[in-house]
Amino acid sequence: MSEDGAVLRDMGMRKVESSADPELKSKAKWAIHWVATTYPSDVHWTTDAVLDRLDSEGVTLRDNRLLGPLMKAAEKAGLIEPVVCPTCRRPETTLSERPSRHKAPQHLWKAVSE
């Protein structure tokens, strides 16, 4: 990604997060924490798992893009880390299972081992 692309991505993530409903943002953070602390560190998961947890609680985000900056915040906080290919050093992905995502690639995450 070019430097300009990274700047635009980061600006977009800040805009989505700053305009999010505080209650929904709090519930999304809770769902990320729940998945990260419930799944063992050797289990890889995507934001689909977070959305599934929110669904089970009857919570629907207005904009699922909110998960991007919240996942990055959870990573910076040391709660989760991306799954990285040991050979090519790129983040690993898998296809979404949610029909609304149309099999879009999703980054794989895991809990940080303690």
Taking only the tens of pLDDT, the chain with its 114 residues reads 567 888 898 888 888 888 889 999 999 999 999 999 999 999 999 999 999 999 999 999 999 999 999 999 999 999 999 999 999 999 999 999 999 889 999 999 999 976
Q: So what's the pLDDT on residue 114?
A: 63
Structural domain of 24: 3-111
Q: Quote the CA–CA distance of 81 and 24 in Å, as a whole number.
A: 23
Question: Is-contact 74 107, C-beta < 8 A?
Answer: no
81 in helix, strand or coil?
strand
Contact 101, 92 (CB under 8 A): no
What total number of domains does the chain contain?
1
Residue 106 CA to residue 44 CA, distance in Å, equals 11
CATH number of the domain within which 46 lies: 1.10.10
* 45-84 as b/e: b if 16+ CB within 10 A: bbbbbbbbbbeeeeeebeebebbbbbbeebeeeebbebbe
CA distance 64 to 85: 26
CA distance linking residue 62 with residue 51, whole number of Å? 12
* The pLDDT of residue 10: 85
pLDDT of residue 5: 87
